[in-house]
Amino acid sequence: MEKVEEAIIKNDRMLPIDDTDAKESKRIKSIDRFRGFCVFCMLIFQFLKNFPSLGILSRLADHSLSKGIIILPGMTLADIIAPAFIFAIGLTFTLSFTKWQRLYGTKHAIIHYLERALSIVGLGTFLDLCNKVLDSMSGYTLNAFDYTVLAFTIVAIIGLVLRLLALIPAWKKKLSVPAEHIFYVALSCMGIMNIIITTIDFFAIQNNFSAFRYDYWVTLQGIGFAILVAFPFVKSKWWVKLIGASAIFVAFTVFHQLGNNKAWLDVIVHGGTIGGFGWGAMLIFDMMIADFYFMKKRHISLALSAIFCTLGVFLTQWLGVINLGSCSPTFILVSVGLSGLIFFIFDYLDKYITWKFEFLVWWGKNPIIMFLVEFFVIGVYTTVMPESALSGASWWLAGIQGILAIVLLTAFAYLLARKKKSISL
Predicted local distance difference test score (pLDDT) of residue 423: 58
Predicted local distance difference test score (pLDDT) of residue 281: 98
pLDDT digits 0-9 by tens, 310-340: 999 999 999 999 999 999 999 999 999 999 9
Domain ranges within the chain, ordered by starting residue: 62-109+229-353
Predicted local distance difference test score (pLDDT) of residue 172: 74
User: Which region among 136-140, 147-151, 418-422 has the lowest average model confidence (pLDDT)?
Assistant: 418-422
pLDDT digits 0-9 by tens, 338-372: 999 999 999 998 888 877 888 898 898 888 888 88
User: How far apart, in whole angstroms, are the C-alpha atoms of residue 96 and residue 35?
Assistant: 15
pLDDT digits 0-9 by tens, 171-212: 777 777 777 788 899 999 999 999 999 999 998 888 777 778
pLDDT digits 0-9 by tens, 112-141: 999 999 999 999 999 999 889 888 888 889
User: How far apart, in whole angstroms, are the C-alpha atoms of residue 60 and residue 122?
Assistant: 28
61 burial (CB, 10 Å; 0-12 / 13-18 / 19+) is buried
CB of 72 within 8 A of CB of 399?
no
pLDDT band of residue 386 (cuts 50, 70, 90) is confident
Global pTM value: 0.90
User: How far apart, in whole angstroms, are the C-alpha atoms of residue 409 and residue 407?
Assistant: 6
Distance of CA 14 to CAs 4, 30, 86, Å?
A: 9, 12, 20
Predicted local distance difference test score (pLDDT) of residue 17: 33
User: How far apart, in whole angstroms, are the C-alpha atoms of residue 36 and residue 350?
Assistant: 14
Give me the mean pLDDT over the 103-107 stretch.
Answer: 93
pLDDT digits 0-9 by tens, 221-275: 999 999 999 999 999 999 999 999 999 999 999 999 999 999 999 999 999 999 9
pLDDT digits 0-9 by tens, 12-51: 333 333 333 334 335 688 898 999 999 999 888 888 888 8
pLDDT at 162 over 90: no
